[in-house]
Amino acid sequence: MKTSTELRELLNRIDHRGYPAYKDTRDAWQFDGYLLSIDHVQGDPFAAPSKVSVHVPGKLAGFPTELYDEKHKRIALQDFLIRQFSRQVQGFTFKAKGSGKSGLLSVSHCGQEILERTACEIDKNGMVIVRMEIGFPANGRTINARELIKILFEFLPGCVKKSLYYRALDAKAVQKNKELSEDQQFIRRELTRLKLAAFVANGSILPRESGISDRPMKNAVPFTSPDSMEVTLELPYHGNLTGMGIKQGITLIVGGGYHGKSTLLKALELGVYNHIAGDGREYVITDDSAMKIRAEDGRSIKQVDISMFINNLPNRKDTVHFCTEDASGSTSQAANVVEAMETGANLLLIDEDTSATNFMIRDELMQRVVHRKSEPITPFIDRVQELSNNHKISTILVAGSSGSYFHKADHIIQMDHYLPKDITDFAKKEAADFPLPEEPVSPATEPSYARTVKSDNSFRKNDRIKIKTQGKDSILINRDAIDLRYVEQLTDTEQLGTLGQLMKYAQLHLFNNQRTLGESAEELWKILEQKGISAICEGSYVPGGFAMPRKQEIYACLNRYRALKL
């Protein structure tokens, strides 16, 4: 093992030389208390910064095993450490001067959700690995090694010492972080046992500060469950926690405009992830297979069996293997439902605001005027009970303007000045006076998911495959864009990075003219779960900057990848 002294000597030697001489620093260097691995050196001061990782052996890091011996605890601790480390590093970034990215120091920026990330990894022996980027300093294109020495020998050791060793951290805060993760995991398990689709604790703060900030709104009205829906859970650490239990089945959320319906639904959508303490949604827990369903005009659809919703199109287009490069509101929403079923989702989340009306309902007058025989669409309202009863897929639906779903819902909540009221009995009584016209609908056949993906010869192992992400909006693979703007449960740009790697991996290793799209998604998920994100990143080192998506979003990404050959 080379020592830090040798690194210092090397840096002194290459000072003032041309930038490529920095390449010699690529190696692992033993510092006091940790290993510094320079994994990749940037080609010039303006290129993407160099990749560096810090490895603290378990014995020295000193985290008690019970802080990371289960997956949810490990992820919570990793998340905690990234946030600590990031806070330290922020104080130092760009303190070193120079051209281009000289002196940039960065680690993953974590939002309100707790995600598994390659930025920090704790292995079974308690070794802590943190991956970061450092812009190696230069003047023009001349190495400024003294500035890098400052970063690596003065700044970084301080950051590491203050944030990656158990003894340097606030033990109480670490413990609290672990306890929250255990409580959240407990609620997730309770959902299944109690046959709940979601749980929203009393006192939760659901609205966000603004359209561009995910922080909790100040002075918001705290959530309070209606008495009839109250459930009290006995959390291992927090103790008794009371809140609204949304039962499996069909739940309708109604209420006047601006009374907080969409805000509740949004919180449920993101309740598939755990949230950090202080977020306001740390005890909003949704069945983690839940999928938001919306209209998505313009998306591409590849051989999806949407026949349970759409049949007999005027152009005789096949709806069992439905394909389009430019879906309508209703066909896109139908495909979104069927694709959600394919992922094994137990819960659909739908907001009328972002739905295609003709997909959701057909009102009485329209039924009288336009006979069913001339209408290709069997609206969602005619399938929602079948999904719940036969497929065990629950629906939580926000509807502000149409009362038709009163007849179908098991539970009806009215949001009134941001507070939920259980109006099931009242609404059902009123609905009885407005019966839905009888239009018998025969049950649908189970959609077929058999669609194999062909291998694509333009992807070859040794070719450079370019992957770029644009925020949470899209992934570019070579020249093909995958539009993910309306996959609303993607919550972090780093998840798109991982999805990009997964698509590449699937192109190179999975698509073989035999595997179906679903089997490919399941295979990708299996690799991620068993081996971690690093298993799908090819190359000599594991890069930071990738976060774990859900299985549902892997399917969603494959389904929107226009260049896939089916």
Give the separation between CA 376 and CA 328, rounded to whole angstroms: 13
Partner that binds at residue 555, options ligand ADP, Mg ion, none, CB closer than 5 to 8 Å by kind: none
Q: 160 to each of 55, 146, 155, 170, how far by Cα in Å? A: 10, 20, 9, 15
259 touches ligand ADP by CB under 6 A: yes
Sketch the per residue contact string, 132 through 161, with Mg ion: x for CB under 5 A, - otherwise. ------------------------------
* Beta carbon of residue 487, minimum distance to ligand ADP (angstroms, whole number): 20
Report the SS3 class of residue 448. Answer: coil
- Residues with Cβ within 8 Å of 419's Cβ and at least 6 positions away in sequence, in order, are 221, 223, 224, 260
* Beta carbon of residue 204, minimum distance to ligand ADP (angstroms, whole number): 9
Q: How many Cβ atoms from other residues are within 10 Å of residue 171's Cβ?
A: 10
Give the strand pairing for 113-114 and 274-275: antiparallel
φ, ψ of residue 169 in degrees (nearest 5): -95, 165
* Beta carbon of residue 207, minimum distance to ligand ADP (angstroms, whole number): 4
Give the separation between CA 61 and CA 45, rounded to whole angstroms: 33
370 touches ligand ADP by CB under 6 A: no
Give the separation between CA 221 and CA 4, rounded to whole angstroms: 55
Residue choice 49, 135, 255, 271 for contact with ligand ADP (CB under 6 A): 255
- Number of residues counted as binding ligand ADP (CB under 6 A): 15
284 versus 350: smaller Cβ distance to Mg ion? 350
221 touches ligand ADP by CB under 6 A: yes
* Beta carbon of residue 260, minimum distance to ligand ADP (angstroms, whole number): 4
22 touches ligand ADP by CB under 6 A: no
Q: Which of the residues 259 through 298 are near Mg ion (CB under 5 A)?
A: 262
Q: Which of the residues 315 through 334 are near ligand ADP (CB under 6 A)?
A: none
- Number of residues counted as binding Mg ion (CB under 5 A): 2
Structure tokens, 479: 């020249």
Give the separation between CA 138 and CA 436, rounded to whole angstroms: 74
The CA-CA-CA angle for residues 212, 218, 220, to 5°, reads 105
Question: 3-state DSSP helix/strand/coil percent for the chain, to nearest 5?
Answer: 35, 20, 40
Q: How many Cβ atoms from other residues are within 10 Å of residue 18's Cβ?
A: 12
355 touches Mg ion by CB under 5 A: no
Stretch that binds ligand ADP, among 113-121, 142-150, 215-223, 520-528 (CB under 6 A): 215-223
216 touches ligand ADP by CB under 6 A: no
Q: Which region, left, alpha or beta, applies to residue 190 given φ > 0 means left and ψ of -120 to 50 means alpha? A: alpha
Sign of dihedral through CA atoms 22, 28, 34, 40?
A: positive
214 touches ligand ADP by CB under 6 A: no
- Residue that is written with structure tokens 């993906």 in the block: 453
Partner that binds at residue 260, options ligand ADP, Mg ion, none, CB closer than 5 to 8 Å by kind: ligand ADP
Residue choice 172, 218, 257, 374 for contact with ligand ADP (CB under 6 A): 257
- Residues with Cβ within 8 Å of 70's Cβ and at least 6 positions away in sequence, in order, are 185
543 touches ligand ADP by CB under 6 A: no
Stretch that binds Mg ion, among 165-173, 255-263, 403-411, 517-525 (CB under 5 A): 255-263
410 touches Mg ion by CB under 5 A: no
Stretch that binds ligand ADP, among 22-30, 67-75, 259-267, 313-321 (CB under 6 A): 259-267
* Beta carbon of residue 206, minimum distance to ligand ADP (angstroms, whole number): 6
* Beta carbon of residue 412, minimum distance to ligand ADP (angstroms, whole number): 15
Give the separation between CA 141 and CA 18, rounded to whole angstroms: 6
- Residues with Cβ within 8 Å of 295's Cβ and at least 6 positions away in sequence, in order, are 329, 330, 332, 333, 354, 355, 356, 359
Q: Which of the residues 174 through 213 are near ligand ADP (CB under 6 A)?
A: 206-207
Residue choice 418, 486, 546, 561 for contact with ligand ADP (CB under 6 A): 418
Interface with ligand ADP (CB under 6 A): 206-207, 217, 220-221, 255, 257-263, 415, 418
